[in-house]
Amino acid sequence: MDRKIIGIVPRSFLSWVMLKLIPIKLLLNSVQDRMVLRALSLSFSVKARYRSSQYHRFTYSRIAEEYHIGRDKAKKLIAILVEMNLATIQGGNILFGKFKQEKGKQVSLLPYNNIDLYNLSDIEKYLRLQAVSIKQSQIDYMTNRIQHLRDPGTLKEFRSARKVMGNYNWVGEADRGQSINTVSNVSGLGKNKAVDLLKWGEAKGLLTKHKRLHPISYYLLPEGIQDKGTVFTWKGHKYLAQTTLLSFLVL
């Protein structure tokens, strides 16, 4: 398909190519290394656009031109994928292999019908945001277990929660919010870029942020960081700002 025609891939096209899952371990390891993540972004682009996950009449120059990167950069990205067993060069063709790991779970992908699959920077942001969504799922899971342990609806819920909490060294509270520090850590970005990542995700319709700002009694809590959030005073009134709730779309 012509890049000039397709640009951002329409939903109807994705319906038959649909890449739905990615290994959690592969993704979380990749976001900590920019070149590995860029290589994974290239592989993601091809696998999302071509059912065969294959380039015929492959050349580094062709990939460089298609993704607006240098030929040397294209060669380095392919070399990383080959080393990770995610790509195989066969004569004049290159096959991008399945996203898989020997062990570990896979996660459902966020929708990517609004992502430019020819823009590696956009795909990189998308994959970093996917890592943040994984963290949110983990927070939601542990929050549910903590709630079931403290206030179970049934004996089965209590026993299940007690078993889970015995297997995990979880020190968090029963709160579904995610701080910008957490977003920064799991996305592999600095704090300012992590904030920009969430804004980008909102603009792409991939997530919704729910800010929590509550007025409180002036003498209830001192100013500063507290267990339940950050307390501050503005125009003579005191407020409690809690970590933002993030909700993500899924395919």
Query: Domain extents for the chain?
Result: 3-119
In whole numbers, what is the pLDDT of the chain averaged over residues?
A: 83
Q: Map tokens 């970590």 to a residue.
A: 243
Is the distance from CB of 181 to CB of 243 less than 8 angstroms? Answer: no
The total number of residues shown for the chain amounts to 251
The interaxial angle of helices 60-67 and 71-83, nearest 10 deg, is 110
Compare 26 and 220 and report the one with higher pLDDT: 26
Give the pLDDT confidence of 68-119 residue by residue, as tens digits.
Answer: 999 999 999 999 999 999 999 988 889 998 887 657 789 999 999 999 999 9
Give me the pLDDT at residue 6, please: 33
Cβ-based neighbours of 69, under 8 Å, separated by 6 or more: 63, 77, 120
27 closest CA partner among 118, 103, 130: 130
The pTM of this model reads 0.81
84 closest CA partner among 71, 105, 102, 70: 102
Give the pLDDT confidence of 153-199 residue by residue, as tens digits.
Answer: 787 777 777 777 666 665 555 678 888 889 999 999 999 999 999 99
Q: How confident is the model at residue 227 (pLDDT cuts 50, 70, 90)?
A: low
Question: Does residue 213 have a pLDDT over 80?
Answer: no
CATH number listed for the domain at residues 3-119? 1.10.10
Give me the pLDDT at residue 225, please: 60
Give the pLDDT confidence of 65-77 residue by residue, as tens digits.
Answer: 999 999 999 999 9
Q: How confident is the model at residue 27 (pLDDT cuts 50, 70, 90)?
A: very high
